[in-house]
Structure 1
Amino acid sequence: MWGRMRKRAFGATTHISPRTASPPGGGRRTGPEWKSRRRAGPRGLWKFFVGRRMSLELESRGAMLKEDMVRQGDWLFRWRGYLPLAIVPVVLYEFRHYRFPMNSEFWAGVLEIVCLAVSLSGLAIRALTVGHAPAGTSGRITKNQKASQLNTTGMYSLCRNPLYLGNFVMVSGLLLFLQSPLTLALLAMFFWIYYERIILREEEFLREKFGDEYLRWTERTPVIFPRFSNWEKTSFPFSARTVLRREYSGFFCVIAVMTLFQAIGDWTVKKEFVIDTGWAVIFSLSLIVYLTLRTLKKKTRILHAPGR
């Protein structure tokens, strides 16, 4: 507490109360900030101003950190098709410890079916997103950001990044084959660090382009984990041709990786590199589909739907 301030002038003592003393700029001290400083005393004033300065410094550092993450997001966005290959060494290391579930080849086959089903469900998330998307959105562009309009319905009413959710589910299904919780944990961490920066850059772009419309959408829509109560039907009908044109490579990658995992798993356990007949047939058919759709995409307009 300040107590009473005494001022001696011409032998007389004048009593000045801090409650009635005017601030340096004149006027009356009012408001919660002045009241808290009167109660706290000089030490409280010191903490107030020092704390305010520290707060400003933290805000400045936070802005700089965000700028750094946005720049990293730009770089990751351009190379996002290749960077997931960074988990390949982890996968190869885990195969050193691979065993059939319950030491049974039957249960190994069941696990393969489960892994394939999970991965294809991730592909289905992508297909539902892409199939209802208008032209100029939800593409595989890597050079720069592009969005002709803001998607807020369909899969985009459940979460703001359904394509990345689909990617995560697809890769999780493949890595389930290794039966390693540590590998799945590393995938989740890699996914968070990797996509966090890409999403930050994309959302910065969308905020600048669409303004308040985008901000209202972000207030009600989660980033990655879907909120099913938010579902809002899209006005764009599903386009199978668009899905075939955009997602044929993802389908082939899932089949190719699962076929390779099965062969490596058998080699690890049996010490012989053999591709099961079932997987050989599935891989051959998927390769035919891949080459056919790729040719149609590159050489014709059959897979191009109007407005998509």
Structure 2
Amino acid sequence: MKTLMIQLGNFFFRYRNQFFPAIILALFILVPPSTEMWGSGTANLLKTAAAIAVVLAGLALRTVVVGYAYIKRGGLNKRVYAKDLVTEGMFGVCRNPLYVGNMLVYTGIFLLHGNPLVIAIGVGLFAFMYQCIVYAEEVFLEQNFGEAYRAYCRDVPRWALRLENFRHSIDGMSFNFKRVVAKDYSTVSAALLAILATEMYRFAIAENLEHQRSYLLVLAALMALVGMATALVSHFKKHGAFREPKTSL
């Protein structure tokens, strides 16, 4: 079973940028979002607030990870690859903190959708796919870093956050906000657009659409604002605004 999961992990790693959004889109099209939860507007409002909080928690975790120690997750030629074994920053707290952040983001988006079946299938499927990717990465890392990686695995959990390690892991490091903006702005943008699009979808299919028009206009305006902010950050990035100065040896 694990051998099959490793093979699937290499596939998911290579095509995740196309495959993951397609899965979300397919689930949302097949099962429209819930317009009311347990027949209660208050319960629905609490569910929406909880979903957004989970998404923001995932983005916050990613911010801390990238701000202290960034590793290139794109691999090499879309294959699992790592030049160095990164164990500092949040990687001293959890071996896969970026993936934990991603799972929180996806969980929040599925929760925002609100249909119990979509939540169960979506969260379960993404958890399985990330576990496959992690198995594939672990094979590569053990083959290339040997005992150093095995010792790292003994000290740091795969998925849990061992927060007591945090202070020691960032000792001597400084938080790099420019790197966070440069490396993670597209993820933040995608998460915000997903929240807004899900809300628009949910209210567009609700009854009494006439009473929802003003809210839909607000959501559309926010989507346009996020899009413009993303384009602005991309423009500044292309012109070197977030480029890190080279350190001389």
The answer to whether the superposition gives a TM-score over 0.5 is: yes
Q: Could you tell me whether the CA contact under 8 Å between 1:130 and 1:138 is conserved in 2?
A: no
Alignment equivalent of 1:200, drawn from 122, 131, 135: 135
Q: Percent identity between the aligned chains? A: 25
Please report how far the alpha carbon of residue 111 of structure 1 lies from its aligned counterpart in structure 2 after TM superposition.
3.9
> Is the partner of 1:304 in helix, strand or coil?
coil
**CA distance, structure 1, for counterparts of residue 84 and residue 48 of structure 2:** 40
> Which protein has the larger Cα radius of gyration, Structure 1 or Structure 2?
1
Residue by residue over 1:257-307, the C-alpha shift from the partner in whole angstroms, topping out at 9 and shown as x without a partner, is 12211121112222648453442343222112100111222x322112246
Q: State whether structure 2 residue 128 is matched by structure 1 residue 188.
A: no
For the aligned residue pairs, the C-alpha RMSD in angstroms reads: 2.6
- What is the 5 A alignment of 1:238-253? 238-253=175-190
Please report how far the alpha carbon of residue 109 of structure 1 lies from its aligned counterpart in structure 2 after TM superposition.
4.8
**Normalised TM-score (structure 1):** 0.69
In the other structure, the counterpart of 1:130 is 66
In the other structure, the counterpart of 1:92 is 29
Q: Could you tell me whether the CA contact under 8 Å between 1:239 and 1:305 is conserved in 2?
A: no
**Unaligned stretches of 5+ in structure 2?**
none
Alignment equivalent of 2:55, drawn from 104, 119, 126: 119
**CA distance, structure 1, for counterparts of residue 144 and residue 51 of structure 2:** 40
Q: State whether structure 2 residue 243 is matched by structure 1 residue 304.
A: yes
In the other structure, the counterpart of 2:93 is 158
**CA distance, structure 2, for counterparts of residue 236 and residue 230 of structure 1:** 14
Aligned length: 240
> Is the partner of 1:206 in helix, strand or coil?
helix
Letter in 1 for 2:216: D
- What is the 5 A alignment of 1:1-308? 66-84=2-20, 85-95=22-32, 98-101=34-37, 103=39, 108-134=44-70, 137-141=71-75, 143-231=78-166, 232-234=168-170, 235-270=172-207, 272=209, 274=213, 275-297=215-237, 299-306=238-245
Q: Could you tell me whether the CA contact under 8 Å between 1:131 and 1:242 is conserved in 2?
A: yes
Please report how far the alpha carbon of residue 217 of structure 1 lies from its aligned counterpart in structure 2 after TM superposition.
0.7
Please report how far the alpha carbon of residue 221 of structure 1 lies from its aligned counterpart in structure 2 after TM superposition.
1.3
**Normalised TM-score (structure 2):** 0.84
Inter-CA distance 82–281: structure 2 relative to 1 (3 Å threshold): same
> Is the partner of 1:152 in helix, strand or coil?
coil
**Unaligned stretches of 5+ in structure 1?**
1-64
Please report how far the alpha carbon of residue 82 of structure 1 lies from its aligned counterpart in structure 2 after TM superposition.
1.7
Letter in 2 for 1:252: S
